[in-house]
């Protein structure tokens, strides 16, 4: 079995890459460890930058997105019992899209299947070899092992995949942990406010988000070792009401909780994002703490850069785009890493509750919500920095 590009992982990175390559007439095989039902139900990100939406639109993947998305023009920062709206669109000229990642994944899967090109579910890659010159990916499917030879491997298999280890020790990893995690719930309840609310409370961070006019997405800062089982629904609602509460009163709409999980917060970057014919993209190459809502958007940029580089390579053997891939992506990734780390640090309560740090956080938040210069800088980062040139 042979193809031009072996794509490991059918998350947003792998599926979008497959489509961008298809549009350039490049063959690929997409391998996904999980079932189709699993990846189409996995509740994760919900915020898309305008740059991501523009790209999806330009390649014909956003029809349902445009019908069903919610468009937001601001977010609220809540602290000291008072909400402060940051008018993102006024400050940046750009808008935000709310559309569940699993909905996007459904659209991407349907687009891939419509091309008739291979996308195998329940097909874990087990090894990646020969990445210096002649890559071979071994995977299991239908109860037997297969061998896929290819010109290029795209490692889009997330943080825990097999691609990154296949570079041996050739890559340098940078990592930063946080002493807290997020408990996320999805509730069949209309949102309690029209926009997102990022709350910095003395009991910890909370986030009010949404998926549709009838579905709310909510997060609570919890300890990293806490399990979802220690958070029965009644406790979740009580804690959310406290942390999202405000002096003027706040009505939190409750409803059946249909999904509940704990996610660690982590910052991680691998450099470079390439080894020989192996290219890493999305969460396989970098993780940002969820606070800035950037992970999915970074994955989109990586594969846009990679697809144009591979386009030139397969068209006339020009390797310059492939050689520039890592540096092009990393420049933007480190800026986003800093923003995500900063936003995380400003909003979460340190477990030791150091009062000096808390005063500094509140000072930052007051500055951000009273200075147009500070708010403009926040808006520029939150709505999404420009894509690299040529993408
Ligand atoms: P993934 O979506 O993880 O896809 C990787 C795929 O590879 C998976 O389907 C996996 O099953 C598969 N795989 C793994 N190993 C193998 C193997 N050996 N063989 C074959 N397949 C394999 N980002 C935002 O931009 N905005 C947000 O609002 C946001 N909120 C988030 C909230 C939560 C609770 C979480 C957990 C994440 C959030 N993110 C957010 C981050 C975002 O979800 C990720 O950055 C995004 O999923 C990255 O896409 P990806 O395709 O790189 O990786
Ligand atoms: C959502 C997730 C985030 O990490 C964030 O910063 C904002 C919204 C969400 O899932 O809706």
- What are the extents of the domains in the chain? 2-46+100-171+272-349, 178-264
Ligand 1 in contact with 263 (CB < 6 A)? yes
Beta strands per DSSP E along the chain: 2-8, 28-31, 47-49, 70-72, 75-79, 82-86, 96-98, 119-120, 125-129, 136-141, 144-155, 172-187, 196-201, 204-212, 215-222, 257-271, 274-275, 278-280, 286-287
CB 7 within 8 A of CB 22: no
Q: For the sheet containing 215-222, what is the strand order?
A: 82-86, 75-79, 196-201, 204-212, 215-222, 172-187, 257-271, 286-287
Q: pLDDT tens digits, the chain, 391 residues: what are they?
A: 999 999 999 999 999 999 999 999 999 999 999 999 999 999 999 999 999 999 999 999 999 999 999 999 999 999 999 999 999 999 999 999 999 999 999 999 999 999 999 999 999 999 999 999 999 999 999 999 999 999 999 999 999 999 999 998 899 999 999 999 999 999 999 999 999 999 999 999 999 999 999 999 999 999 999 999 999 999 999 999 999 999 999 999 999 999 999 999 999 999 999 999 999 999 999 999 999 999 999 999 999 999 999 999 999 999 999 999 999 999 999 999 999 999 999 999 999 889 999 999 999 999 999 999 999 999 999 999 999 988 8
| Rounded Cα distance, 9 and 38, in Å | 13
Give distance in angstroms: CA of 79 to centre of ligand 1.
30
Pick the closest to residue 306 from 320, 328, 319, 325 (CA basis): 325
Is the bond leading into 251 cis (omega within 30 degrees of zero)? no
CB 282 within 8 A of CB 303: yes
* Ligand 2 atom 1 nearest Cα: 46
Q: CA Rg, the chain, in Å?
A: 21
Structure tokens at 226: 């806490």
Ligand 1 in contact with 294 (CB < 6 A)? yes
| Rounded Cα distance, 96 and 94, in Å | 7
| Rounded Cα distance, 12 and 300, in Å | 7
Quote the pLDDT of residue 149: 98
Give distance in angstroms: CA of 294 to centre of ligand 1.
12
| Rounded Cα distance, 181 and 305, in Å | 31
Ligand 2 in contact with 46 (CB < 6 A)? yes
Q: Which ligand is closest in space to the CA of residue 9? A: 1
CB 14 within 8 A of CB 154: yes
DSSP 8-state symbol, 28:
E
- Pocket test residue of 36, 75, 101 for ligand 1, highest count of atoms within 8 A of CB: 101
* Ligand 2 atom 5 nearest Cα: 293
Quote the pLDDT of residue 379: 98
Ligand 2 in contact with 217 (CB < 6 A)? yes
Any residues with CB less than 8 A from the CB of 333 and at least 6 apart, and which? 269, 285, 286, 298
Quote the pLDDT of residue 21: 98
CB 22 within 8 A of CB 117: yes
Ligand 2 in contact with 240 (CB < 6 A)? no
Give distance in angstroms: CA of 242 to centre of ligand 1.
31
CB 53 within 8 A of CB 104: no
The hierarchical CATH code for the domain 2-46+100-171+272-349 is 3.50.50.60
Quote the pLDDT of residue 391: 85
Quote the pLDDT of residue 254: 98
- Pocket test residue of 77, 206, 207, 263 for ligand 2, highest count of atoms within 8 A of CB: 207
Positive or negative torsion for Cα 196, 197, 198, 203:
negative
Ligand 1 in contact with 156 (CB < 6 A)? yes
Ligand 1 in contact with 289 (CB < 6 A)? no
Return the CATH number of 178-264, one of 3.10.105.10, 3.40.50.720, 3.90.25.10, 3.30.9.10. 3.30.9.10
For tokens 């998926």, name the residue.
211
| Rounded Cα distance, 45 and 363, in Å | 29
- Count other C-beta atoms under 10 Å from residue 37's C-beta: 9
Ligand 2 in contact with 97 (CB < 6 A)? no
| Rounded Cα distance, 158 and 164, in Å | 9
For tokens 């940078």, name the residue.
174
């Amino acid at each position: 079995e042979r193809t031009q590009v072996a794509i490991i992982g059918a998350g947003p990175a792998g599926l979008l890459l497959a489509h961008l390559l298809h549009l350039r007439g490049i063959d690929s095989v997409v391998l996904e460890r999980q079932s189709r039902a699993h990846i189409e139900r996995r509740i994760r990100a919900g915020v898309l930058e305008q740059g991501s939406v523009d790209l999806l639109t330009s390649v014909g993947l956003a029809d349902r997105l445009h019908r069903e998305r919610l468009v937001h023009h601001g977010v609220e920062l809540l602290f000291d019992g008072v909400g402060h709206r940051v008018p993102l669109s006024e400050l940046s000229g750009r808008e935000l899209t709310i559309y569940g990642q699993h909905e996007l994944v459904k659209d991407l899967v349907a687009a891939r299947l419509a091309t008739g090109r291979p996308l195998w579910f329940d097909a874990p890659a087990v090894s990646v070899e020969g990445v210096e010159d002649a890559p071979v990916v071994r995977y299991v499917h239908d109860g037997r092992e297969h061998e896929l030879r290819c010109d290029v491997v795209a490692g889009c298999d997330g943080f825990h995949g097999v691609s990154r280890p296949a570079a041996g020790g050739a890559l340098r990893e940078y990592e930063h942990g946080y002493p807290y995690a997020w408990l996320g719930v999805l509730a069949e309840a209309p949102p309690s406010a029209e926009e997102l609310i990022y709350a910095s409370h003395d009991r910890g961070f909370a986030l009010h988000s949404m998926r549709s006019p009838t579905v709310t997405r909510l997060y609570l800062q919890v300890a990293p070792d806490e399990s979802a089982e220690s958070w029965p629904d009644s406790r979740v609602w009580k804690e959310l009401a406290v942390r999202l509460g405000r002096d003027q009163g706040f009505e939190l709409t409750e409803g059946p909780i249909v999904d509940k999980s704990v996610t660690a917060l982590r910052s991680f970057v691998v450099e470079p994002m390439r080894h020989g014919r192996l290219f890493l993209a999305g969460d396989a190459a970098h993780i940002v703490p969820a606070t800035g809502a950037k992970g999915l958007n970074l994955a989109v940029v990586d594969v846009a850069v990679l697809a144009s580089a591979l386009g030139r390579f397969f068209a006339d053997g020009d390797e310059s785009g492939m050689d520039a891939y890592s540096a092009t992506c990393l420049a933007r990734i480190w800026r986003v890493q800093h923003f995500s780390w900063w936003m995380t640090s400003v909003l979460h309560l340190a477990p030791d509750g150091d009062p000096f740090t808390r005063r500094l956080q509140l000072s930052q938040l007051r500055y951000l919500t009273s200075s147009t210069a500070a708010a403009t800088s926040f808006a520029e980062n939150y709505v999404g920095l420009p894509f690299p040139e040529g993408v």
